[in-house]
């Protein structure tokens, strides 16, 4: 993957230093971000050093102390912003009440617009935005595995085994999405569309990486997973109908069709066996489960509002359930 285009003074300084192969990042630490996009893109690039890296960046910089320090500062700002938006539900049990809580959140839905009204260009833009996560689908959650007790670990692996194709590379979900992108005439290489995605997409991805990379936030990571899975089946069905309406190729339709059935399973596993298993072993993490779940729905709602507003779609486009 190539380093993205900078979006401000921090990313300008950071990307220049990364490209130069230097490990003197003091000027970067001094640069500071001028706005949210600059900070979010810097954090996205620093997180990516822990996934697949960049063609022009030395692999050993993944654990450079100055870059880890910068990453930590950007992550603290991100987590503080996310926590300020969150109010823990009172008197609810995560395992018993989760699906009803999700149904009450009533966020804006891009899938409902795709199903009925979106044009081809809008759907192509949406697929490019989704590609930032879908081309590494489940990878942030995989980091959580070694941080769990026996029950939650076995339960998470049962779900992840399906996400990663059950041993068959042809069924691996992010491979299915790449095939769908290629068939739709879009670049399918990892991170190919990063330069055009809005702040909200960067924040969605940064939150998942942040939760996944920190053992302290294992509860938030699994709560996020539960909310993601619980808001996937029906929107995926809407995506299937919208993609078929617009004549998108079978490969792209197949990706979403797979998620209709897979996530009807995964939402049950995520809430009952994964989060339930975590709570049986670490009951003190229930509030973190809710924090992760809320953050998932809140960030998707912010993304949906941004993109629907830009397309001139009114805010009455709600999902019946999540």
Partner 1 sequence: MSGSFEHPDVVLCPGGPMLLRGQHTVEDPAGVAHETTRPVTAVCRCHKSSSLPWCDGTHKLLPERLRPT
The site string for partner 1 over 30-49 (x = CB under 8 A, - otherwise) reads: --------------------
Residues 277-306 that bind partner 1 (CB under 8 A): 281
The CB density around residue 283, as the number of other CB atoms within 10 Å, is 8
Stretch of 59-67, 108-116, 258-266, 299-307 lying at the interface with partner 1 (CB under 8 A): 258-266
Is residue 137 close enough to count as binding partner 1 by CB under 8 A?
no
Residues 6+ apart with CB under 8 A from 254: 176, 180
The CB density around residue 284, as the number of other CB atoms within 10 Å, is 8
Is residue 260 close enough to count as binding partner 1 by CB under 8 A?
yes
Which residue lies nearer to partner 1 by CB, 146 or 166? 166
Which residue lies nearer to partner 1 by CB, 33 or 243? 243
Question: Which of 233, 270, 286, 304 contacts partner 1 by CB under 8 A?
Answer: 233
Residues 149-168 that bind partner 1 (CB under 8 A): 149-151, 154, 158, 161-162, 166
Question: Least distance in Å: CB of 167 to partner 1?
Answer: 10
- The full 3-state SS of the chain, as one line of letters, equals CCCCCCCCHHHHHHHHHHHHCCCCCHHHHHHCCCCHHHHHHHHHHHHHCCCCCCCCCCHHHHHCHHHHHHHHHHHHHHHHHHHHCCCCCCCCCHHHHHHHHHHHHCCECHHHHHHHCCCHHHHHHHHHHHHHHHCCCCHHHHCCHHHCCHHHHHHHHHHHHHHCHHHCHHHCHHHHHHHHHHHCCCCCCCCCCHHHCCHHHHHHHHHHHHHHHCHHHHHHHHHHHHHHHHCCHHHHHHHHHHHHHCCCCHHHHHHHHHHHHHHHHHHHHHHHHHHHHHHHHCHHHHHHHHHHHHHHHHHHHHHHHHHHHHCCCCCCCECCCC
Question: Least distance in Å: CB of 161 to partner 1?
Answer: 6
Which residue lies nearer to partner 1 by CB, 267 or 286? 267
Which residue lies nearer to partner 1 by CB, 30 or 150? 150
The site string for partner 1 over 92-131 (x = CB under 8 A, - otherwise) reads: -------x---x----------------------------
Is residue 147 close enough to count as binding partner 1 by CB under 8 A?
no
Question: Which of 267, 286, 298, 301 contacts partner 1 by CB under 8 A?
Answer: 267
Question: Least distance in Å: CB of 230 to partner 1?
Answer: 8
Question: Least distance in Å: CB of 297 to partner 1?
Answer: 15
Question: Which of 261, 309, 315, 318 contacts partner 1 by CB under 8 A?
Answer: 261
The CB density around residue 36, as the number of other CB atoms within 10 Å, is 17
Residues near partner 1 (CB under 8 A) are: 99, 103, 149-151, 154, 158, 161-162, 166, 233-234, 237, 260-265, 267-269, 272, 281, 320-321
């Amino acid at each position: 993957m190539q380093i993205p285009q900078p979006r401000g003074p921090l990313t300008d300084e950071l990307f220049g230093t990364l490209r130069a192969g230097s490990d003197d990042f003091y000027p970067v630490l001094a640069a500071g971000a001028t706005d949210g996009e600059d900070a979010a893109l810097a954090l996205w690039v620093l997180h990516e050093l822990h996934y697949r890296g960049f063609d022009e960046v030395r692999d050993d910089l993944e654990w450079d102390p100055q870059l880890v320090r910068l990453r930590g500062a950007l992550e603290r700002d991100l987590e503080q912003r996310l926590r300020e938006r969150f109010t823990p539900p009172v008197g609810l049990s995560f395992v018993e009440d989760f699906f009803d809580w999700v149904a009450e959140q009533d966020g804006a839905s891009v899938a409902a617009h795709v199903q009925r009204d979106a044009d081809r260009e809008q759907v192509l833009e949406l697929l490019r935005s989704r590609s930032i996560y879908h081309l590494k689908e489940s990878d942030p959650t995989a980091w959580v595995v070694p941080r769990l007790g026996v029950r939650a670990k076995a339960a998470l692996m049962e779900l992840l085994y399906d996400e990663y194709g059950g041993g068959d590379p042809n069924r691996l979900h992010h491979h299915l999405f790449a095939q769908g992108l290629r068939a739709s005439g879009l670049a399918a290489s990892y991170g190919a569309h990063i330069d055009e995605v809005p702040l909200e997409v960067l924040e969605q991805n940064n939150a998942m990486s942040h939760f996944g990379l920190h053992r302290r936030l294992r509860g938030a990571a699994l709560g996020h997973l539960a909310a993601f899975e619980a808001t996937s089946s029906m929107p995926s069905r809407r995506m299937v109908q919208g993609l078929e309406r617009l004549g998108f190729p079978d490969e792209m339709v197949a990706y979403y069709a797979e998620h209709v059935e897979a996530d009807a399973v995964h939402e049950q596993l995520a809430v009952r066996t994964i989060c339930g298993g975590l709570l049986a072993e670490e009951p003190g993490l229930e509030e973190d489960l809710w924090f992760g779940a809320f953050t998932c729905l809140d960030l998707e709602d912010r993304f949906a509002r941004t993109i629907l507003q830009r397309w001139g779609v009114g805010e009455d486009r709600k999902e019946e359930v999540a």
